[in-house]
Amino acid sequence: MRYQKKRTVKPFSTEEQTGKRKFPLIQKCIIEASLSNVWDDARREWFLVDIIDDAADKFTDRCQICNHVGLKKNYEIQNSNTQAKYLVGSNCIRKFIILKGTMNLEDSSILFKLETEKIEAYKLIQNLLPAILSIPTSQQLVKFHRACHAVLGRPKLAQDIEPAQWREFVVRIFGQPNPPKNNLDRVKNALFNPRSVPQVRVKIDSEREQIAVGSWSGITKTRQTRAESTLVRSDAYKIDGGSEN
Ligand SMILES: [Zn+2]
């Protein structure tokens, strides 16, 4: 009976949840770094800027607003008025922060999930960019293609992307709005016409380590032009369309 009753209880609203218990440390930290002195306004001034993994120098395993230790990742939040930043755990964001642009904790949680996926996708895109700008493996090309779709919403054509969205994409992956045209063209090809992108074919060796097949494997990065022309003549050269997924 008790179990049944528990299941039908509606979740607490934002106000009830924080009203049930006081969280003096979290409230103090957030209010101190916000423009408003009122908790329910102060916690609405923040947005997510970055995800920091434990290999980064600035990583801390202690949440800076609740002191919980044992974090595996930091979520960096920034105040839109004071520009103050905190490295916190995901739980604190889900429970206490109403991200800017949302009305309540529930919507904020949805935005938090979308934003974290976007940040992770951009990190992957940035990691893969050097390979895309030389000759990627087919696996790198597929990963790049998927990650771009994750941030751009699966566009079929360049025209499907809003200009502002495209500008943000270019700035975030190149660090500037006007990268060299050939670099931009390579990214566009990987995105819209992956079948046209030359790729290095790889096999898995006995130690399950990926190695490039063929004599050009050692020169793909340092001698790109020669590598490309060798590839084009080689039987092993393969145009392998990135699968849509
Ligand atoms: Zn915390």
Digit-coded pLDDT (tens) for 130-153? 999 999 999 999 999 999 999 998
In a domain, 119, yes or no: no
Gap between the Cα atoms of 75 and 23, Å rounded: 20
pTM for this entry = 0.70
Q: How far is the CA of 218 from the centre of ligand 1 (A)?
A: 47
Bigger pLDDT: 205 vs 70:
70
48/92 same-domain check = yes
Which residues have a Cβ under 8 Å from the Cβ of 70 and sit 6 or more positions away?
61
The backbone region for 70, taken as left when phi is positive above 0, alpha when psi lies in -120 to 50, beta otherwise, is left
Residue 218 within any structural domain of the chain:
yes
* Residue 193 belongs to domain spanning: 127-233
| 131 in the same domain as 85 | no
Look at residues 43, 66, 101 and tell me which one is the last residue of a structural domain: 101
pLDDT(233) > 90: no
pLDDT of residue 216: 41
Q: 23: CA distance to ligand 1 center in Å? A: 11
Within a domain: residue 240?
Answer: no
DSSP sequence for 180-244: -HHHHHHHHHHHH-GGGS-BB-EEE-TTS-EEE-SGGGGTTTT-HHHHHHHHHHSTT-B--PPP-
The reply to whether 226 falls in a domain is: yes
Pair 76, 7 in one domain: yes
If one counts the domains in the chain, the total is: 2
Half-sphere exposure of 138 (CA within 13 A, CB side): 14
The answer to whether residue 245 sits within a structural domain is no
User: For residue 31, is it within any domain?
Assistant: yes
Tell which wins on pLDDT, 102 or 229: 102
Residue among 184, 222, 178, 215 nearest 200 (CA): 215
C-alpha of residue 89 to centroid of ligand 1, in Å: 5
How many whole angstroms from 77 Cα to the centroid of ligand 1? 12
Q: Both 131 and 85 in a single domain?
A: no
Tokens of 133: 């700008």
Q: Ligand 1 mean position to 28 CA, how many Å? A: 13
What is the Å distance from ligand 1's center to 108 Cα? 16
Ligand 1 center–CA 85 separation, angstroms: 14
Residues 83 and 39 in one domain: yes
Residues 6+ apart with CB under 8 A from 200: 135, 136, 137, 138, 212, 213, 214, 216, 217, 220, 231
**Residue 115 in domain:** no
Which residues have CB atoms below 5 A from the ion given as ligand 1? Answer: 63, 66, 68, 89, 92
% of the chain residues with pLDDT over 70? 74
| Model pLDDT for residues 8-18, shown as the tens digit of each residue | 434 433 333 44
Together in a domain, 63 and 24: yes
Residue 231 or residue 184, greater confidence: 184
Residues 97 and 141 in one domain: no
In a domain, 113, yes or no: no
